[in-house]
Amino acid sequence: METWSVEQVCSWLVEKNLGELVHRFQEEEVSGAALLALNDRMVQQLVKKIGHQAVLMDLIKKYKQNTQGLKSPENPKEAALVMQTEAARDYRDEESSSPASHGERMPSFYPAENLDNGLIDQRVLKQRRNVKHILARSKALQWTKSYVLPEFPYDVKCMLAEQKCPDHSMRIRIIEFLQADMTKYLEGSLYPSTQQYNDVVNALLQAHPFLDEDGCGFFLWKRALKDRFKYVRRPIEDDEQVIRNKCKFGHRRGQKRKSLADIRFDEIKLVQIKEEAVCFDSELDEHIKWFQQEYVKTEKDWREIDKRMSQTLEIRRKMIGSQTPLKDILKLFPFLKCPYQIFREFQLLTRTDIYKKTRHILESYSENILTSFSVVDNPINILLQEKMKHYTDEDMLKYMKLTATCLLLPDVFGDDPSLFVIMNEQVQVSTPVLEVKNPFNMEVCEFSLYLERERLTKVDDCVTALAALVAAFHVFGIECPRRLSQTFNFLETLIFDMHSPYFPSLKEKEKEVGFQLPVT
């Protein structure tokens, strides 16, 4: 079969009542060798109907089992070639084991042209590959360490106990479970070493030998485990180790590494952008000096600050658009560290009062979020219910509910809460994130907004904190992480919805004058 052409494979499909697959196999140019190399995942992509998938995999499996010893073909020419192949293999085995092989080489009984035949070459090479696989596996077994398999779910344990060959979905479940356990075992790292892959796969095959199919199960499971880690790493944008490896090796299909000339050109261009940003005229230089002097004063002239911040808005947007480091921007414009100025900058850019919109969202959706099925057993919700038993004041109860709503938003939408708010832990992400201490104690509650792992500002309530978090992404031109996309889609849809009956239209916003938020 491995020498079949695409047409022969299609004829075989018709014989096996799988004629519906002929067109698809012709498109993908599936030859006999490709047919024997198909695995569960490839068959699932190639064949749509589950029944056809099962029949095809069963036929391939039976063929492989029947051809463990080579069957004699009906064609006499093919029979002669197969007999020559077996005789040549037996002769080489005898030659390698005989004493003469260490001394003078004995002549071959078969002409060279027979060994050069394509059919024989492919089978000999396949045998050599199998020998290499066996040697590599035996070498990997010597590296096995004391890795203990995790406790699999009940259905997986039942399948393993019955020693059934796992189907495609069950293989995926086992691989996902091993990947999660390895990540925990490696303390969060998503880059296991080759030795660690070997240890895990060896532990799996030693505990369940029937998973080692045809002696090549080690490499199949290892490849699947590696692919799973690649799949997990692909959408991650906030982990420092993943970012460093993506920058080093590239992470998109078809992406090419830049040449030295391109890298040099980008460096020169970046230097020019920074020089243009630094070369301020005298008037702008005066504004920046005034900002730095005013920022250290105890009593500040907020009207003058608002006026000068509006005058320097354009140059500030150019600097942010040219990816000037945020630390440099905050040194030149230190008032961007104040929540009031972040809100005002957001209003200048979008004509939207984000504080008012955020309060309205929390008040309107707090009951729905707190009673959502996905957060019923959440520790934050459980702590809220316990705290509410000790208070009767309506303002205090409302404050606690709004705070819990703010903290539970990413859990409701299935996003990663560690990119949204952090409680009693060290900030590890570079994107804007909230840190909260004593969330349900109105007197000592403290929210902080972090940017690039440094505290940007400190606020006293959840409404200001959530509004500052959303505004920071827009004001500083930072792209929202994918693992927070659902939460931010919800918030931004309500914040920027022009047709919502709860919020004024765009024309009404343009008529609004001033910004009446209290300074925190």
- At residue 313, the pLDDT reads 87
Q: What is the pLDDT of residues 68-88, one digit of tens each?
A: 655 444 455 455 444 545 544
Tell whether 250 is covered by a domain.
Answer: no
Q: What is the pLDDT at residue 206?
A: 84
Same domain, 375 and 324: no
Residue 342, domain member (yes or no)? no
Confidence of residue 134 (pLDDT cuts 50, 70, 90): low
pLDDT beyond 80 at 351: yes
The answer on 324 and 374 residing in a single domain is: no
**Which residues lie closer than 8 Å to 290 by C-beta, 6 or more apart?**
308
Indicate if 223 and 164 belong to the same structural domain. Answer: yes
pLDDT of residue 461: 83
**The predicted structure's pLDDT at residue 437:** 83
CA distance readout (Å), 135 to 132, 209, 214, 349? 5, 18, 14, 65
Comparing 173-182, 210-219, 375-384, 460-469, which segment has the lowest mean pLDDT?
210-219
pLDDT confidence of residue 142: 43
Position 122 scores a pLDDT of 62
Q: Give the pLDDT mean for 336-347.
A: 88
- Would residue 481 count as lying in a domain? yes
The 10s digit of each residue's pLDDT in 381-407 is 888 888 888 878 888 888 888 888 888
Specify whether the CB–CB gap between 56 and 17 falls below 8 A: no
Give this prediction's pTM: 0.45
Average pLDDT, the chain: 75
Q: What was the pLDDT predicted at 249?
A: 61
Q: What is the pLDDT of residue 128?
A: 64
Return d(Cα 244, Cα 491) in angstroms, integer: 31
Q: How far is CA 273 from CA 279, 329, 439, 477, in A?
A: 10, 14, 43, 17
Rounded CA separation 210/159 (Å): 11
Q: Regarding predicted confidence, which is higher, 490 or 373?
A: 490
DSSP string, 28-88: HT--HHHHHH--HHHHHHH--SHHHHHHHHHHHHHHHHHTSSPPPPSSHHHHHHHHHHHHH
**pLDDT of 372 over the 70 cut:** yes
In this prediction, residue 241 carries a pLDDT of 65
Instruction: Check whether residue 182 and residue 295 sit in a common domain.
Output: no
Q: How confident is the model at residue 274 (pLDDT cuts 50, 70, 90)?
A: low
Judge whether residue 434 has pLDDT over 50: yes
Q: Are 460 and 446 in contact, with CB atoms under 8 Å apart?
A: yes
- Which phi and psi angles does 163 have, rounded to 5°? 55, 45
Pick the last residue of a domain from 234, 261, 295. Answer: 234
Q: Which pLDDT belongs to residue 200?
A: 86
| Backbone angle region of 518, left / alpha / beta, with phi > 0 → left and psi within -120 to 50 → alpha | beta
- Considering the domain boundaries, does residue 519 fall inside one? no
pLDDT tens for residues 288-335? 888 888 888 888 888 898 888 888 888 888 888 888 888 888 888 888
Q: Do 46 and 38 touch, CB atoms closer than 8 A?
A: yes
- Residues 296, 165, single domain; the answer is no
| pLDDT in the model for residue 279 | 53
The predicted structure's pLDDT at residue 277:
52
User: Is residue 519 predicted with pLDDT exceeding 50?
Assistant: no
Mean pLDDT confidence for 160-186 = 83
Residue ending a domain, among 47, 66, 85, is: 66
- In total, the chain counts a number of residues equal to 520
Quick check: helix, strand or coil at residue 515?
coil
Task: Mark whether 500 and 361 lie in a shared domain.
Answer: yes
Q: For the chain, give the percent of residues with pLDDT over 90.
A: 0
**Residue 202 in contact with residue 139, Cβ under 8 Å?**
no
Helix axis angle for 282-295 and 302-311, nearest 10°, is 150
Do 392 and 290 share a domain, yes or no? no
What's residue 376's pLDDT? 77
Question: How far is Cα 38 from Cα 34, in angstroms, rounded to an integer?
Answer: 6
Quick one: average pLDDT of 358-387? 84
Residue 518 above 50 pLDDT? no
| Weakest mean pLDDT among 206-210, 255-259, 419-423, 453-457 | 255-259
Structural domain for 472, as ranges: 354-504
Is pLDDT at 101 greater than 60 in this prediction? no
Quick one: 333 and 373 in the same domain? no
pLDDT at residue 500 in the model: 42
Q: Do 403 and 316 share a domain, yes or no?
A: no
pLDDT of 515: 38
Looking up residue 49, the CATH number of its domain turns out to be 1.10.150
- Ranking 11-25, 193-207, 238-252, 392-406 by mean pLDDT, the lowest is 238-252
Report pLDDT for 77.
Answer: 46
pLDDT, residue 337, reads: 87
Is residue 241 in some structural domain? no
**Domain shared by 410 and 485, yes or no:** yes
174 falls within a domain:
yes
Task: Tell me the per-residue pLDDT of 450-486, one tens digit each, with 9 for 90 and over.
Answer: 988 888 888 878 889 899 999 999 888 888 888 888 8
Band of residue 164 on the pLDDT scale cut at 50, 70, 90:
confident
Tell me the average pLDDT across 437-449. 80
What's the pLDDT score for residue 214?
Answer: 62
Instruction: Please tell me whether residues 311 and 363 are part of one structural domain.
Output: no
Query: Does residue 467 share a domain with residue 425?
Result: yes
- Residue-wise DSSP of 175-235: HHHHHHHHHHHTTT-S---HHHHHHHHHHHHHH-GGGSGGG-HHHHHHHHHHHHHHHHHTT
16 assigned to some structural domain: yes
Q: Is the pLDDT of residue 138 over 60?
A: no
**pLDDT band with cut points at 50, 70 and 90 for residue 520:** very low
Please count the structural domains in the chain. 4
Residue 94 lies in a domain: no
* pLDDT tens-digit map of 104-121: 444 443 444 444 444 455
Residue finishing a domain among 194, 215, 234:
234
